Chain A
Amino acid sequence: MRRRVINKGDTQLGVTWAWGSRTIGTALLLLGSLHAGASAVQDASDNKSCLRCHQMATLAYRDPTSGEIVDLSVDPNALSHSTHGELACSDCHAADYEQYPHPDRLKDEALACVGCHEEQDDAQERRYRFETIDKEFKHSVHVTSDAPEAADFGCHSCHDPHAFRNSEVGEDIAQIVRDDNAICMSCHEELNDPYRDPHLWLPKREKHREAVRCLDCHTPVSESGQPVSHQILAGEDSNRDCVQCHSKAPQLLNRLYQYRSETDLANKGWLSKAVFNEAYVVGMSRSPLIDRAALAIIAITLLGLGAHGYGRYRAYRRSKEDQT
């Protein structure tokens, strides 16, 4: 009964119900430690009937109105490793898809990350709120842009519901950076062109692409408490201040480094590993205190020397007058 149709209209009911039973089921299965195997088999058999066709990498059609190619293939491997890996196709898609040819009325089935998620029981417990994400997303360049290519931008532009897996504490930072940047790079290929890359001002671009996320510079340091912000900023609003990262308390990097597990932090001392332990990294030597004090002392010295010089000049004039 868990596999109820979740689509527009009765989404909320269906999801809540399905989840209630899933939680109980999970608890029982966990006791017998059969959970993983059992549910995988169960879902797989169900999914198999759909994947029979949809696993074909070439399954696609050309949308007659827009002329664009719609990719219909679902990679079962990516799906099973995704956050939605334990769901069956029909947990999200209408059960009527079992019929083939698919009934025409299913064509307007609209599934949205936010609509489906925000009503869930554990919505309060998660570190991120889909509502906040949605709000941030609505202020991002991709939504505010007038560019025709950005017209239909939505969550699915970046998150394939059949493959998306969010990062979790304890994962390899380098891998997180790679995955997250791959999302952006899937469209922003112009960055690979050394003549069109808008980041020419940034030294060691390769190193930065491996070590920091696009998001770290292209989103504001928000107070929302979410692990990532979805408010992608336009170039002119983005961060180019090296010190935000290359300093003792790297504000921008804190968001990225939160994924490091406690033991990881304790063992490595991530601050020193990340920023201090390499050879010279810009800004590392920057100390606002020393800089400000030194510049002030230098300014005062210059003033003093100027005054001294002026005094000497006056004395010189006087001696000239005395002579004449």
Chain B
Amino acid sequence: MSELYLYPRWVRLWHWTNALLFILLMFSGASMHFNGVGLLLDFQAAITLHNTAGILLTAGWIGFVIGNLVTGNGRHYQVQLRGFLKRLITQSIYYGYGIFNNAPHPFHPSSEAKLNTLQQVTYIGVMYLLMPLLILSGWAFLFSVYLPETLFGIGSVWVVAMSHLTVAYLLILFLLVHIYIITTGETVLTNMRAMLTGWHRDTHQETEA
């Protein structure tokens, strides 16, 4: 049995704010996108909510990036190239096969590396590729008046709209998988508890530090 303090307070605060904003954005976004279909928000309310949440999400993202630059949290996002593929494959085999045979977790979080390679790659993709795209296209909507008439010969707002939509769908997909994957810890709730309290518990492992 070991306990590791993996998630400092600011990371947890950022994470749960982000989670809440994600849900609000998904719901208000769907209300705008599918307006007219039942059980959705009023259009005007949805726009206001979506814009507000989007602006807060932007602030949160900037905070996250700065936090990663000035604290040690950033090291979790630095890919160790040595053995990268092997680790990636091991982790994938675990999720695709080992997990059904009660195989031991191939990865144990430590304060040096709290994310397994698969997580790391996904989070980097989400936080440093998809999120900036989402935020940029969102702001492009807000300031579409200042956009050029066309981009690549197509109405520029349409380009923006389609990027925003595609990235939004990808992030919904991420969220679904993310919510599922966090249940694959030691017990179903291990990882969830870690993000709530900051402490990661692991019975099979001695503290490596």
Contacts and interface: CB of A to CB of B under 8 A. Distances in A.
Interface in A284-322: 284-287, 290-291, 294, 297-298, 301-302, 305, 308-309, 311-312, 314-316, 318-319
Interface string B116-160: 000000000000000000000000011011000110000111100
Contacts of B162: 285, 287, 290
Contact of B173 (A284, A290, A298): A298
Interface in A220-261: 240-242, 248
29 contacts: A201-B36, A203-B42, A248-B158, A272-B157, A272-B158, A276-B156, A277-B149, A277-B155, A279-B141, A279-B144, A279-B145, A280-B32, A282-B33, A283-B35, A284-B161, A285-B33, A285-B162, A290-B162, A290-B166, A294-B166, A294-B172, A297-B173, A298-B173, A301-B177, A308-B95, A312-B100, A315-B99, A318-B102, A319-B102
Interface residues of A, number: 37
Interface of B: 32-33, 35-36, 42-44, 47, 95, 99-102, 141-142, 144-145, 149-150, 155-158, 161-162, 164-166, 169, 172-173, 176-177, 180, 183-184
Nearest to A271: B155
A298 B35 contact: no
A194 interface: no
B157 A277 contact: yes
Given A277-B144, A285-B165, A294-B169, A305 B36 contact: no
B165 A276 contact: no
B136 to A, nearest CB: 15
A272 B150 contact: yes
A67 interface: no
Contact of A282 (B35, B149, B183): B35
A9 interface: no
A269 interface: yes
B36 A280 contact: no
B68 to A, nearest CB: 28
Contacts of B169: 290, 294, 297-298
For the complex of A and B, list the 4 residue pairs with the smallest distance between their C-beta atoms, beginning with the closest: A294-B169, A285-B161, A203-B43, A272-B155
A305 B177 contact: yes
A286 B33 contact: yes
B98 to A, nearest CB: 10
Nearest to B163: A285
Given A280-B144, A308-B180, 12 more contacts: A272-B149, A272-B155, A276-B156, A277-B155, A280-B47, A297-B169, A301-B176, A302-B176, A309-B183, A312-B99, A315-B102, A316-B102
A309 B182 CA distance: 12
